[in-house]
Structure 1
């Protein structure tokens, strides 16, 4: 080989090595940049503001539970909530329906407008009951996620002595309805979007319910849902856990992930009612924590976060509230229950937390209603 050809070959080899080095350097910079984004995600400290007396939505003849909020193109705030006749007792599992109320403010007062997802017959998977809604607007359409079931509607409780219709409870599945406006009409589907898994030892072999969803940075839909398996004796089954699924679109299909989240070692029902969202580089969640001390259960609201939406850890500021609310007049009240937390976001920031709350009346009958709580979030740099 001539000295000229050798020089050309040496030059080409050097050029290739230089290109590879530059590519590696660029890749390293991108990895460091990505790691920096995660590292710079702030920790959230979540607190409640004072609550206005107008921020209560109740009905004398109906039990009201939950409440999820979206702002419509009409400038109104649309709340979707569960309700059932108060006189029949705590029969949400077989008589709940999802209704619709509106307000000019996310803090009320709200006025009932119509029933969004009514009873449509026991031949449908969600024909007898619709419950625990969470509403979102994705890409110009409105998506109302919920739990539905079917069954015989047999009443098994009396006021003050709640029991449960296990047929309805174990027929719970997760669905979604779609509309161009929060005023409807809502298109419902013939099949749930999260059904039970076919294998008997699955965490969700018995029932699925209580969906919480948010849109991921890549446009996919992250869902965390309540699941009950068949490892514990039926009809109750158990343990009660939460699972993760990711969908390519708001209506699925959803890929389930195998490991439960929000778990505590040795506890078979440690959490319930998560609300998830994505903000400032992390997925965030407000969750109802259930602590068991013998037969006594203590509820509080706590805070988790996650970098990928699949693996969740207790946030640095974990405790949020032990069901305590302060009113604008300074009165402090601790509720028996403060559940189904649903965050309302506006301009990318959490503004309000809608919760199901209840008190006992003079006869010892449980009165449930929705409360809208201002949120105060302090962002703490890592």
Structure 2
């Protein structure tokens, strides 16, 4: 069994599911403040537009709960589409929230476009907003945090954590140059900064890649614990475990050179609910973590069930053997 995994035989309470009647809910990021309130920032867009509208109509909303697993109550929006002309005026997605020295930093994908799916996807950029509290208000910036450059058609899906040496490490997704509209291979890059606002500079060592496929991993979350680095990633093509879309574990001694864990499976793309119903997913991804006593306790995931266009967030408790 993996050193961090979903408990065998887990039956998940329905209150751990966060869904909205009129919205598709996608990835989420949560921090708990000292008084005990759990602050959740998540992606949403109108259900009536279908699942693929994440690229053209997504916004970031805000919800709270007294318990990390929920239930959560929506409080409003955090970042929403606004006037044309801004680099991120066409939507916000794939959020990641950290706190540093009493300031909150919300990393996200910002995008703009003409309303066509590929146009928005190919104009994705990593951005950051800043606030004094996770409830906002959030200050955006006039420019992305990471611009495209030679070899990088896009930048997106950021996650940031603080290293023991005091630096901030980001892993983000990029698309290499290639035939349009898709571009080339989907790859992930490590970048370092001395401050949460950057500048983030790419590290020469690539993050988890393989020459056998052009899209080996997708969504991801990294952290450091007891001097060792860990990452939960989506096995996008089943290349590492033979299980398409499974959540799997990688480890590293320095945060740069990563190896597949001895027992890598964190969870399969399915859930068993408290009444025994087993639900299978077309996509169960966008992992984020909630920590208790410095150890990961809950895995937040975005889920799109098979045969459905309606997505939701789910909070899954973890076994851990650290």
For normalisation by structure 1, the TM-score amounts to 0.79
Point out the structure with max Rg over C-alpha.
1
* CA distance in 2: counterparts of 1:235 and 1:326, whole angstroms: 38
Query: Is the partner of 1:298 in helix, strand or coil?
Result: coil
Give the aligned partner of residue 226 of structure 1: 173
1:77 partnered with 2:38: yes
For residue 327 of structure 1, report the CA deviation from its aligned partner: 2.9
| Pairing 1:1-382 to 2, within 5 Å after superposition | 45-49=3-7, 50=10, 51-89=12-50, 90-154=52-116, 165-197=117-149, 199=150, 202=151, 205-230=152-177, 232-291=178-237, 298-360=244-306, 364-379=307-322
More off after superposition, 344-353 vs 268-277: 344-353
For residue 326 of structure 1, report the CA deviation from its aligned partner: 3.0
The answer to whether the 8 Å contact 1:48/1:325 transfers is no
For residue 243 of structure 1, report the CA deviation from its aligned partner: 0.5
Alignment coverage as a number of residue pairs: 316
Query: Is the partner of 1:121 in helix, strand or coil?
Result: coil
* CA distance in 2: counterparts of 1:66 and 1:331, whole angstroms: 23
Structure with higher helix content: 1
Give the aligned partner of residue 5 of structure 1: none
Query: Is the partner of 1:166 in helix, strand or coil?
Result: helix
Q: Deviations over 1:178-213 (max 9, x none)?
A: 11111111111111111112x2xx2xx200100011
For residue 85 of structure 1, report the CA deviation from its aligned partner: 0.9
Gaps of 5+ in 1: 1-42, 155-164
For residue 298 of structure 1, report the CA deviation from its aligned partner: 2.2
For normalisation by structure 2, the TM-score amounts to 0.93
* CA distance in 2: counterparts of 1:292 and 1:57, whole angstroms: 27
The answer to whether the 8 Å contact 1:122/1:151 transfers is no
The answer to whether the 8 Å contact 2:238/2:245 transfers is no
